[in-house]
Structure 1
């Protein structure tokens, strides 16, 4: 049966089908979204709860624990962690990737309702929840600043107008305003004046609440006209509050300005934000733009930029609006570089074919298979909702060396028939019939290589799904084109081929490959005459490959130079906000001085505490830098950590954040225990040990257990005798030192808080507590020191849970030259020395995913080989021929692993996928040899040794052509060209190294296996495998005939 005959005889049909593929493929390409990596949705829900004034320990025991017990009943929950701070709890729930996020949210809501009766009754509001995705990082950061306009007014402008305008861009999910400059009126009181006037804090609170009201005034309805009424009940600014009457004595009003003052300020004073360029520094408001899942990052960024000129015309001239970070710049540069690599690959592959054939026309015919296969793949990608990203384009780049193989094999066989004297039409028909089954076998067996990748679980499976489908579709389409378009074009375009005078280059090419084939034919007799030595060599290489696999350093998803990095900073737990601002400013100066700096966003203070800081450092494009981001980080680390009283943790964020827990480094190790005392002691000891390991840098933990706390011990009997209750005392303390929100000012488009507190000078140290008075129910001011004493102790600033147990997470980065598996082995060793039996430990986030991935990759490789064996067994109706075809796999694996070692690259996920691809590439050579040898045995009645020798010599040229095409097709990736090329390099090196090494030996090893297995098959057929009956013994390799 000739699958190609109808396509050869009906050229119009063939051409129209190909034109249709071209049309729909180009149309689909224009609609494909452009992103950095495939969209990976992490079903994650965060639950928030608050209890004013409660300590972290109280929040953990009374709020987090009841909720966590209910959440554990939800199906599909993979991990649960919580962070408890003073007055607030955040619980992060991460579900399996197969779990529907909306259904999970309903279950979370049900669990919150079930836990409601176990929660404290005085919570201000029920716990709330929000669906999040850790992978959805902002794609753009804009900066708003002004030299003349107050920053609170700039924040109002950002919240009320700019964010709403940017949110209208199609594909934008959220525009978050950051800067902590929201307006507020702060009423600050002098406790000495309060005591002198006999005024209690509760009286000031009541006066503000009753003096600032916003209520409707009703209507007047007359016979001819109606009126609406309003009163000036609302106090709009600080000046109004200064004149507010608190009380009146003997007809003399007591105003707020008599016992303190009100000022127009900001709501949260414990955060400071800077924006810096190489030579300028600004106080700034930041707008972070996030996109909707699956949307086109590059298109959104372009639409956003188009809106900026119009936006700048509508905001005051005093406000500067600048772009700090645009992920689309890196994506565009990276995608353009991959596209350049793709074009370069096509050129190299076509050039290789030309070098082998020595003629332009035969080169063009298989060359057409490349663009048609790629364009058809675009149509399928669009249909499946894929995007143009680094992985899918890398798949297409790698496929160039594969998709041309089938067309090369088809055309080479047709050309060979023409060289034997057949005309073009007859050669196309007989050549396609002869080679059709071989191409079908090559295509199907290569596609099934990628099937196991589709069934990879977890994040890695999602990440590589588009890669596997894209390359699989390209290979299928190339097989179809090789069986249809290629023989049809040969039958019409090669009619005069070989009849005219050949050019010098063509003659030289043919002469070279004829001599090469003759040399190969002579040298092939050596392994055929010494099969035992050949089999021993292959067995030795197999053992070495296994040993190398366990010995070579292993990595996870390789990091990328994305033109930015992060710096987390931390001072001692007892450090004040002013101390942190001073030291964060020193960090800014060091970062600003770096020559590759483009922009810097720096923050001092956060919800996690006033002793923490954060910097987002954007760099000039990688093509304009001499150093990559890793080198810059290693250069800056010692400089940043030379600042006294501060530790800095710079790191390159991963392309896809894994795990719901926030961290200051790339890798996490979490300890758990029922005993807080054992947990804290073990965590501190382990952190010290890990900091001394040679493989780790930036070791730090989320323990904040040295925070000073003033405990006010109330003598309840004495307080009661003075007319005071615990509630009144607590209320007075919180009003004095808790920045209490006592009222709200409503404007046209916003609302602002009125905050009551003592003057800053009376909130600096514990001695000021002697000035605090609480008004009793007997209307008398009672000094705090008359019924309470002070105790100072060190307590946790945060309490964390993992699962339902108290936990501590130690984060770390890898020192250059070390791999994650080496670091994990060292951590396990020190953990065994340090941790007591009451404390357990496990890797989390990316390190946990690394463990899972590499625990299953070996099985995945086995499944890949098994599937190929099954497919080949079905195609050849043989148990033995598939083993012969796959005999070169150890050689390819050995070449790949040695290449990675030589280039000092890790066996990461990309490299492992490259090795899986090698399985498909290397077996193609075996298929071409075995397929021809089987036919030669059946039709020409040759023995196995002569048949495989003849097959190898005749198939030498197409084997070399396809292998060199695949090698040169992968070479640009191995060279790490362009933005993000360093991340792709391991895959290219593993493929190129495996092809080079296996190609040198496969041509000699596979024929030996063919002969050996043929003799084994004959021996089994003769029944010599039953020693009990006739005493026969199987032949040894050395007994095979020469």
Structure 2
């Protein structure tokens, strides 16, 4: 029953669609097959090994000191448990009310704990996007970005920097640039300013656990916060840095990692309200690097061709475009070969003329007769401003506001704040939605909640089939709220988000915690059937007999997940929430289920007897009525 019900936890994961389905599918298949193989080994190989290696106890041989010490400790706890269990069963109503309070607190903590999606991992890289004024020249942009590179290279934790500037590759415009920063290996970095990897938050107070033995290298996120004020001193250019996502999730190419898009058929509305919302988002304390893709102040030079004059001189618009392209396009027109090398021939005007608008009057276009005609003789020039880039989503104009999260701010908190701010700022004709990771986070938690409910429902059905009973599966599952309460409380204390990985830990708890109830209820049912014991005596004996295996299995699970919770090794940022959720849930549920399950069993047996009496009285009632 334990094997099949544990496999049942992962059945809903196999049928999930979307991003979460792709994330969970391999995980569910691997764990389910491992559990089935383990169950087969337990029923076949383990009995054979016991027949070969397990011997009858030799009462004449005195055990060693370690064995005697372990037995004395276990017997002490067993004696204390037997005494305390009698007290709990005596005040069974108070225990049942306490379990109801824990259930209510579990729902409260589910809403109070901060929520995230996929935690960032230290991959040894930092991505930085830069943006300057819309009218900046390429040379000025290059100089400012080079100043940023020099500051970054002075950091002792940086190994190399790769910098690109201009409208090429992922850069959408000439006033943008990118830097790929490569960090030194963890063992070569400086020690983190924090003395411990554990943050805690309790009763509104936050802090760190100080321990000189838990010093760890500085992380990529800490390096970003260290570089941010230094790079902010370079005037005229903004830098948005982020650790690359472990799992990239769609979205548009923007300066920051998270995106909030605004769409409207009226571009003028976007031009009016997007800057207003952007300015308000910049005032939010939990957001950093707020910027938008809407850039409407790009200086433009309009060349207005007088087609009548140009036609009379035998000059076409194509000739004018080719001349302007040759002057300012920096295109390759030829290749010079030498015996040992080759050289590209680039056609363009001198740099001093590229920055002078009046230099356009010095450009000449050859007419059909071979006469050189100055450009200002057949065209006029005017200057204005316009859009630097035009973005569409689903063929509808869109403006995207991108942002990063400040340290200690969860994605759930930021998303709720942004949605509320957009509702009070934007008109109804502008539709909004999150993109990329923020959108996946918004859509994921409803799926995760449904996944948890389906897992519990399938476990109940399988236990009902195995026990041929619909009452005692509820007894077995009565310990789940305590596991959820312990997991959520531990996440809250250590200031860890409830994200995809910690939610997987809670789903694993559903399968792990119910084994305590199965061991006690299964023994109690057999004692009732074969020995005719009352519900009280049967469950009391079951608790004492099963105390040792319950403690052994729980300690084995704790020791297996404790290294994950401590966050050791590369990539521990992603695994640590899972370990913390499992350890916290196991510790809390282990204490409560040892007392709560016996009380629920007695109440369920009383309910069963009431149902039996009711069923026996129905035929008699029908006979009297007839």
Maintained 8 Å contact 1:774/1:781: yes
TM-score, length of structure 2 as denominator length: 0.90
Superposition pairs for residues 414-429 of structure 1, below 5 Å?
none
Could you list the per-position Cα deviations for residues 164-210 of structure 1 after superposition, in whole angstroms to 9, with x for gaps in the alignment?
A: xxxxxxxxxxxxxxxxxxxxxxxxxxxxxxxxxxxxxxxxxxxxxxx
Match of residue 179 from structure 2: 615
Match of residue 447 from structure 2: 856
Match of residue 38 from structure 2: 478
Equivalent position to 2:11, from 441, 451, 464: 451
Maintained 8 Å contact 2:121/2:246: yes
Does 2:459 align with 1:899? Answer: no
Distance 1:648 1:723 in 2: 50
Does 2:149 align with 1:588? Answer: yes
Distance 1:507 1:570 in 2: 70
Question: What's the secondary structure of 1:559's corresponding residue?
Answer: coil
Match of residue 511 from structure 1: 72
Please state how far the C-alpha of 1:1015 moved relative to its aligned partner: 1.0
Maintained 8 Å contact 1:710/1:793: yes
Distance 2:58 2:471 in 1: 40
Match of residue 704 from structure 1: 295
Does 2:128 align with 1:567? Answer: yes
Match of residue 127 from structure 1: none
Distance 2:164 2:72 in 1: 70
Superposition pairs for residues 719-734 of structure 1, below 5 Å?
719-734=310-325
Maintained 8 Å contact 1:518/1:953: no
Maintained 8 Å contact 1:561/1:622: no
Could you list the per-position Cα deviations for residues 44-85 of structure 1 after superposition, in whole angstroms to 9, with x for gaps in the alignment?
A: xxxxxxxxxxxxxxxxxxxxxxxxxxxxxxxxxxxxxxxxxx
Cα distance, 1:795–1:746 mapped onto 2, change above 3 Å = farther
Match of residue 665 from structure 1: 256
User: Which ranges in structure 1 are unaligned for 5 or more consecutive residues?
Assistant: 1-440, 1032-1042
Equivalent position to 2:398, from 804, 807, 810: 807
Match of residue 576 from structure 1: 137
Does 2:243 align with 1:683? Answer: no
Question: What's the secondary structure of 1:879's corresponding residue?
Answer: coil
Question: What's the secondary structure of 2:549's corresponding residue?
Answer: helix
Equivalent position to 2:86, from 506, 514, 525: 525
Does 2:458 align with 1:867? Answer: yes
Question: What's the secondary structure of 2:301's corresponding residue?
Answer: strand
Distance 1:1024 1:446 in 2: 34
Cα distance, 1:448–1:501 mapped onto 2, change above 3 Å = same
Distance 2:264 2:283 in 1: 24
Maintained 8 Å contact 1:600/1:618: yes
Structure with max Cα Rg: 1
Equivalent position to 1:549, from 99, 102, 110: 110
TM-score, length of structure 1 as denominator length: 0.55
Could you list the per-position Cα deviations for residues 389-444 of structure 1 after superposition, in whole angstroms to 9, with x for gaps in the alignment?
A: xxxxxxxxxxxxxxxxxxxxxxxxxxxxxxxxxxxxxxxxxxxxxxxxxxxx1111
Could you list the per-position Cα deviations for residues 372-400 of structure 1 after superposition, in whole angstroms to 9, with x for gaps in the alignment?
A: xxxxxxxxxxxxxxxxxxxxxxxxxxxxx
Cα distance, 1:508–1:733 mapped onto 2, change above 3 Å = closer
Match of residue 587 from structure 2: 996
* Structure ranking higher on relative contact order (CA contacts 8 Å, 6+ apart): 2
Please state how far the C-alpha of 1:671 moved relative to its aligned partner: 1.2
Distance 1:729 1:624 in 2: 58
Match of residue 205 from structure 2: none
Match of residue 51 from structure 2: 491
Maintained 8 Å contact 1:623/1:979: no
Distance 1:967 1:778 in 2: 91
Distance 2:121 2:429 in 1: 39
Could you list the per-position Cα deviations for residues 620-676 of structure 1 after superposition, in whole angstroms to 9, with x for gaps in the alignment?
A: 222343121111111111111111111001111111111052222221111111122
Distance 1:949 1:808 in 2: 66
* Alignment RMSD (CA, Å): 2.3
User: Which ranges in structure 2 are unaligned for 5 or more consecutive residues?
Assistant: 192-217
Distance 1:498 1:969 in 2: 33
Superposition pairs for residues 88-167 of structure 1, below 5 Å?
none
Could you list the per-position Cα deviations for residues 259-308 of structure 1 after superposition, in whole angstroms to 9, with x for gaps in the alignment?
A: xxxxxxxxxxxxxxxxxxxxxxxxxxxxxxxxxxxxxxxxxxxxxxxxxx
Could you list the per-position Cα deviations for residues 751-785 of structure 1 after superposition, in whole angstroms to 9, with x for gaps in the alignment?
A: 98654333333222211011112222343222221
Could you list the per-position Cα deviations for residues 594-642 of structure 1 after superposition, in whole angstroms to 9, with x for gaps in the alignment?
A: 1111222222324223322221112222234312111111111111111
Which segment drifts farther, 727-736 or 811-820? 727-736
Cα distance, 1:481–1:752 mapped onto 2, change above 3 Å = farther
Cα distance, 1:529–1:1028 mapped onto 2, change above 3 Å = farther
Maintained 8 Å contact 2:118/2:501: yes
Distance 2:433 2:295 in 1: 20
Please state how far the C-alpha of 1:787 moved relative to its aligned partner: 2.6
Maintained 8 Å contact 2:475/2:604: yes
Does 2:92 align with 1:501? Answer: no
Please state how far the C-alpha of 1:704 moved relative to its aligned partner: 3.1
Cα distance, 1:534–1:1028 mapped onto 2, change above 3 Å = farther
Please state how far the C-alpha of 1:520 moved relative to its aligned partner: 1.3
Distance 1:449 1:747 in 2: 72
Cα distance, 1:862–1:497 mapped onto 2, change above 3 Å = same
Which segment drifts farther, 484-493 or 463-472? 463-472
Does 2:537 align with 1:977? Answer: no
Distance 1:910 1:766 in 2: 58
Maintained 8 Å contact 2:363/2:374: yes
Please state how far the C-alpha of 1:742 moved relative to its aligned partner: 4.5
Distance 2:251 2:296 in 1: 23
Maintained 8 Å contact 2:251/2:437: no
Could you list the per-position Cα deviations for residues 435-487 of structure 1 after superposition, in whole angstroms to 9, with x for gaps in the alignment?
A: xxxxxx11111122122223332223222333222222222222222222222
Distance 1:773 1:630 in 2: 55
Equivalent position to 1:605, from 163, 166, 190: 166
